[in-house]
A and B are shown apart, each in its own frame.
Chain A
Amino acid sequence: MSEPLEARNLVRLFGDERAVDGVDFQVRSGEIHAIVGLNGAGKTTLMRLLLGMVAPTSGKALIDGVNARSAPPDVWVRVGSLTETPFSYPELTVTENLQAAALLHGVKDVRARVARVIDEFELGHWTHRRARALSLGNQQRLGLAAALIHRPSILILDEPANALDPAGVVFIRDLMRAAAERDAAVMVSSHHLDQLARVADRISVLHRGRLIGTLDPHGTDLEQQFFDIVYRDDRERGLA
């Protein structure tokens, strides 16, 4: 049986560059699996592959056991994602943006779900404000609310703590933990170790497109461990 999210010997080339280079990776139900890496490590490309945004050069990117590029609507209805720019249309208000997200995610009772998510994400003060007038932090909060409005069982978040204040970072950690507790598979990427260590079940290190090791989420001095793994890999490849 396949896991909700799975990469099998996944490769994606951009010209000569191996953005993702033979990655094997899974996220199980009820698990938060964090991917950490330096800028340009391939985190975003890996997430794009698993969301069907780009096609693999070779290998497989599977979502609920189905090729992500050709997954049917009944698979996507269970998926929530936040990658790069959050879902928001600047001319629409917070409420309208959430209504749009609810419609596109196949939510049946749009009005009730929007009201609930506004409450959960503490967006009540800005319901009638246009998205263009929101602070970056609140735009990110709106994007997260849009990604989670249908209570997905598979969650893919690329740098979700971007632009969030410390309270927002705590909020996103609670959010991911709550999703995992209701048996969702959560994949999250970040280059800030401390934001993830407190909540992840597994942490994998991605470097130059390859998974090169894991970190113990409960271990000490994660930064030191991370750089040891990265520098060792660079030395082994003759790049350090």
Chain B
Amino acid sequence: MRRALGVELMKVRHSTVVVTTTVLIVVLVPLLCLGFVAVARAGGAGAVALKAQAMVVGEGWEAYLGLLAQVVSIGMFIGPGVVVAWAFGREFADRTFPSLFGLPVSRGSIAAAKFTVLACWGLALTILTLGVAVLVGLVAQVGSLTGIDLAGRLWRLLVAGFLTSMISLTIGFVASIGRGYLPAFGALILLTMITQIAVLFGTGGWFPYAAPGLFAIAGTADVAEVSAVQLLLVPVTTVLVAWATVRWWNHAEVV
């Protein structure tokens, strides 16, 4: 597995998809939140202004961090989901899957290495995004920090962001059995839609794709707290799907 990890790390470090996604999320998420807060506070009756006013709750850091929680819960699923689709679908799209046979390193180890590297990248991405978001907030003087439990709020966002990126790893299963990026992109869109529906129906806490997002905004809006059991379903689902994916890679034929 150590050797497979070395190769997967090398591929991720040099990937345009990974670098682009990292930059887009780390830079755009905080700037988008800052922009929306500014638009909402500027008033106005335009379509964008009204939408921003509906999304932004409270003032200053309260508003900024609340919006950050909403954006992170979607961004950390779609961004890493695209990277996961690429990582697991690329050998099929490039037709290099056959070159992973006849090696002392099993295909299952290669798939497990992909999961490990992407999980670490997801954690690093979350930390980096939150770090930049705080810096942007301070530099832009979003508001006073008095009365704001910044550490507590960031911890909640860190857990939510990492768990969201973790559940996006399940897209790897679709990219594998679908043998390419496109089925995985389809699954990404479909799961995003189902997540929205689950939240609308009030069952999101028990849906592993929605639970981290609800945990991120719990308490800041009219959203109930997510229980530890509900959050635990996220790593459990991820591990089960990862196990199925590794098994599939070990037994899949070249077609």
Contact = CB atoms under 8 A, between A and B. Distances in A.
Interface of A: 48, 51-55, 73-74, 76-77, 79-81, 83-92, 96, 99-100, 103-106, 143, 146, 156
B254 interface: yes
A54 B252 CA distance: 8
A105 B253 contact: no
Contacts of B3: 103-104, 106
Interface string B98-109: 111111111000
Question: Which label, helix, strand, loop or mixed, suits the secondary structure of the B interface?
Answer: loop
B104 A92 contact: no
Interface residues of B, number: 23
Given A53-B253, A53-B254, A54-B253, A89 B11 contact: yes
Given A73-B104, A76-B104, A77-B104, A86 B7 contact: no
A73 B14 contact: no
A52 B98 contact: no
Interface in B44-102: 94-96, 98-102
B6 interface: yes
Given A52-B101, A96-B14, A88 B106 contact: no
B13 to A, nearest CB: 9
B10 interface: yes
Contact of A85 (B7, B95, B102, B105): B95
Most buried by B among A73, A83, A103, A106: A103
Contact of B10 (A74, A76, A100): A100
Question: Which label, helix, strand, loop or mixed, suits the secondary structure of the A interface?
Answer: loop
Nearest to B94: A85
Contacts of A80: 102
Which 6 residue pairs are nearest across A and B when measured between Cβ atoms? Answer: A73-B104, A87-B99, A53-B254, A77-B104, A103-B3, A81-B102
B102 to A, nearest CB: 4
Given A103-B7, A106-B3, A156 B105 contact: no
A146 to B, nearest CB: 8
B11 A91 contact: yes
Contacts of A156: 102
Contacts of B7: 100, 103-104
Given A89-B11, A103-B7, A74 B98 contact: no
A89 to B, nearest CB: 6
Nearest to A63: B102
A69 B101 CA distance: 10
B15 interface: yes
A91 B4 contact: no
Contacts of B15: 91
Contact of A106 (B11, B16, B99, B104): B104
Contacts of A77: 104
Nearest to B14: A91
A84 B103 contact: no
Contacts of B98: 48, 51, 53, 83-85
16 contacts: A51-B98, A52-B101, A54-B254, A73-B104, A73-B106, A76-B102, A84-B95, A84-B98, A85-B94, A85-B96, A88-B96, A89-B11, A100-B10, A100-B11, A103-B7, A156-B102
